[in-house]
Chains A and B, each alone.
Chain A
Amino acid sequence: MNDPIAGIGSGGRVTLAHGGGTAMRDLIERLFLASFHPQGFPVQEDQARFDLAALAGHGDRLAFTTDSFVVEPLEFAGGDIGKLAVCGTLNDLAVGGARPVALSAAFIIEEGLELETLRRIVTSMASQAAAAGVSIVTGDTKVVPRGACDRLFITTTGIGVIAEAHHVSIAAARPGDVILVNGPLGDHGAAILCARGDLALGVSIESDCAPLHDLAATLLAAVPQVRAMRDATRGGLAGVLTELAEASRVAVTIEEKALPLRPEVAGLCEILGLDPLYLANEGKLVAVVPQEAAEVALAALRAHPLGAGAAIIGRVADAGRAGDVTLLNRFGGHRAVTMPAGEQLPRIC
């Protein structure tokens, strides 16, 4: 089989020449289009076109979301920037109760990026999208001079359709509701910290980067009255819960002993003085359901491959000040969980 990218670059790297002309056409046709091959979407147009009637058959609202992805290093245990970019946008659709339909992808590439690296990342995006049953239907590529970006930035945008029956909202949590998460916290943040290498820590923690749309659909099928869903990304569980408490104007309580955590992540947090509540995740769904549906919701999550480690971690308090998130520890004490302030830095003291 011919190597699709042979002869595209000079010295196996992206150069400024790929920013236009025949070199750019080669890159787009032989790498991006060859990988994404959007079926049913004519590639020569400047925009992807959708049949509205077909979309309307799946629901009554369109979900539309966008996110930019930067990560150092580009590839890490459990994923890469391409997988992040596809899963991140799929997840933003999924937590709104939407069935994802299509994605766009825009690339800002620093000159000098190895074509082989770009190919691995693009292939990873294609396989994630294919597995999710969505197409990457439109996109853009810019090449910028060295120093103008850090190797590769990707922006993905997604559309999806929300079925009539589903009305999940971050503002819909009510007193008595139960809060669940689909597995151990902080794996992505821990994996990235270790992958950067500057802390010289050896550990086999993989990023939890995963598409959550199927898990979310499974949960919605089992418990149609799900109140709220969010994927806990940057800012960790603490970020999601503080947003939930503020948006729903409720107080939220979680139990320290119920929080799922891998021993390696616990160890890393002890060494570096980090709080796992604030570590990033890329495949963690936080769901709020009415109390009477909690056990059904837990069983539905646990029956899914991405929810084997699911747990009930807390509830929306019957009383308390709106916006407060409280962690109950094993000692019967409680402390406030506040909105993350900036990046968590390792500490020695």
Chain B
Amino acid sequence: MNGTLRFIDEFRDPALAENLFAEIAVTAARIAAGRDRPVTIMEVCGGHTHTIFRYALEARMPETIQFAHGPGCPVCVLPRGRVDDAIAIARHKEVIFTTFGDAMRVPGAQGSLIQARAAGADIRLVYSPLDALALAKANPDREVVFFALGFETTMPSTALTILRAARSNIKNFSLLCHHITIIPTLRALLEQPDFPVDGFIGPGHVAMVIGTRPFQFLPEEFGQPLVVSGFEPLDILQSLLMVLRQIETGKPQVENQYRRVVPEDGNKAAMAAVAEVYETRPECEWRGLGTIAESGVRLAPAWEVYDAEKRFDLTLHQAPDPEGCRCNDVLVGRIRPWDCAAFGTICTPENPLGALMVSSEGACAAYYQYQGMKRAG
């Protein structure tokens, strides 16, 4: 398609991609000699998953390389009980419930937000938490709640929005907070037995906020290479090549392919806002992964007044993952999506059973959408 997007189009150059494909094939062949299984590379960011599928990069990989699509989509890992919480709040007559579009179709035990909207709840899509705050200002007689989702990348935006609400003395605004953190989750993944991954493509936009140092434990404690990567196809291919070269030389480290955006130290102003507004939750529930210690945040006591859980006196819903769902095995790379009996049968994008079919960033939805059922057949 013929757009002209600076810092995007340059990194979609097909000729340069051909060179990378060739170099990746040669490097992978060298590594594969003497191994009895493919080199498995995991990306832990839904944006990377999306690019891999949108550009069909997997189809151009040699058989010696396999992608494992990790738990990097905050919408996919949103537990069912949390969706039920959101719906419970949205049903209050005075509430305007605001959310990113991604969360609308995620099924809870009591249905999805899109179904709750059809049943009469005032639920609105916004592009930014700033827009939710603007709605609160424009509707002083309503309670505006924003569903604060996402990883470290998104936390500063909601933290800064809370600081802005306080500064403007806007009181009819609160967050239903389900921010999650990737670092403890990566550790939990790596501690699983038989974890079949040989290296990581690291989440570029998380690193833009927290910097590259928090990823050091991967090479240091687990001997895993990680390359912080941009989101365009050339970024991912170059990062993949960098990971392969680390595997070849046997010297795992954290490298930064996405230097144009990611400073080694991250963004200090953003981190300061996050530290001011949020505190770590002792534990956080993930769809498909269970409970992971210290893997999420909530509003710190000083900001409780903006906490929707407190404001609406919410009793948190508990709803275990549905039966027959093997998302966990897919997430950690033990099986491919089409190895799951539910894939494409009782679990489809229109009626998702498991986390990974929920959003187009989820590995199962991506396979289903972009490759049809061919892989399954």
Contact = CB atoms under 8 A, between A and B. Distances in A.
| Direct A–B contact in complex, judged by CB atoms less than 8 Å apart | yes
Contacts of B4: 263, 266
Given A331-B55, A346-B100, A348-B102, 7 more contacts: A201-B127, A263-B5, A265-B3, A266-B3, A333-B55, A333-B60, A336-B371
A260 interface: yes
Contacts of B53: 335
A267 B9 CA distance: 11
A-B pairs with the 10 shortest C-beta distances?
A333-B56, A266-B3, A345-B101, A336-B372, A335-B370, A330-B14, A261-B1, A346-B101, A347-B102, A199-B127
Contacts of A341: 349-350
Contact of A345 (B8, B59, B104): B104
Contacts of A200: 127-128, 131, 134
A335 B47 contact: no
B180 to A, nearest CB: 12
Interface of A: 198-201, 256-257, 259-261, 263, 265-267, 270-273, 276, 324, 329-336, 338, 341-342, 345-349
Contact of B131 (A199, A256, A257): A199
Contacts of B359: 347, 349
B128 to A, nearest CB: 8
Interface string B123-156: 0111110010010000000000000001000100
Contacts of A348: 100-102, 150, 154
Contact of A329 (B50, B55, B369): B55
B212 to A, nearest CB: 21
B60 A331 contact: yes
A185 to B, nearest CB: 8
A329 B12 CA distance: 11
B100 A263 contact: no
Contacts of A336: 369-372, 374
A199 B126 contact: yes
A345 B56 contact: no
Given A333-B57, A345-B101, A347-B359, A338 B127 contact: no
B131 A347 contact: no
B363 to A, nearest CB: 14
A257 to B, nearest CB: 7
B3 A349 contact: no
Nearest to B102: A347
B127 A266 contact: no
B233 A331 contact: yes
B349 A266 contact: no
Contacts of A273: 50
A266 B56 contact: no
Contacts of B160: none
Contacts of A261: 1-3
Interface string B340-367: 0000000001100000000111000000
Interface in B107-137: 124-128, 131, 134
B60 A332 contact: yes
B46 interface: yes
Contact of A259 (B1, B59, B128, B360): B1
29 contacts: A199-B125, A259-B1, A260-B1, A261-B3, A266-B3, A266-B4, A270-B8, A272-B127, A329-B54, A329-B55, A329-B56, A330-B17, A331-B17, A331-B56, A331-B233, A332-B14, A334-B59, A335-B54, A335-B371, A338-B369, A338-B372, A346-B100, A346-B101, A347-B100, A347-B101, A347-B359, A348-B101, A349-B102, A349-B361
A106 to B, nearest CB: 25
Contacts of B233: 331
A158 B147 CA distance: 46
B126 A198 contact: yes
B57 A198 contact: no
Contacts of B134: 200
Contacts of A260: 1-2
A261 B2 CA distance: 6
B90 interface: no
Contacts of B60: 331-333
A102 B179 CA distance: 57
A198 B125 contact: yes
B332 interface: no
A349 B55 contact: no
B371 A347 contact: no
Nearest to B237: A331
Question: Most chain-B Cβ atoms within 10 A of its Cβ — which of A273, A276, A349?
Answer: A349
B73 interface: yes
A151 B376 CA distance: 47
A48 B211 CA distance: 72
A255 B74 CA distance: 32
A272 B100 CA distance: 10
A203 B100 CA distance: 21
Contacts of A256: 1
Contact of B59 (A263, A333, A349): A333
B5 A266 contact: yes
Nearest to B368: A338
B105 interface: yes
Question: Most chain-B Cβ atoms within 10 A of its Cβ — which of A272, A329, A332, A347?
Answer: A347
Given A198-B125, A257-B1, A342-B105, A347 B360 contact: yes
Contacts of A335: 53-54, 56, 370-371
Contacts of A342: 105, 350
B244 interface: no
A345 B102 CA distance: 7
B75 interface: yes
A309 to B, nearest CB: 10
Interface string B1-43: 1111100100010100110000000000000000000000000
A264 to B, nearest CB: 9
A346 B18 CA distance: 32
A247 to B, nearest CB: 18
B188 to A, nearest CB: 20
Question: Most chain-B Cβ atoms within 10 A of its Cβ — which of A267, A334, A341?
Answer: A341
A198 B124 contact: yes
Contacts of A271: 127
B344 to A, nearest CB: 12
Contacts of B2: 257, 259-261, 263, 266
B61 to A, nearest CB: 10
Given A260-B2, A333-B56, A333-B59, A349 B47 contact: yes
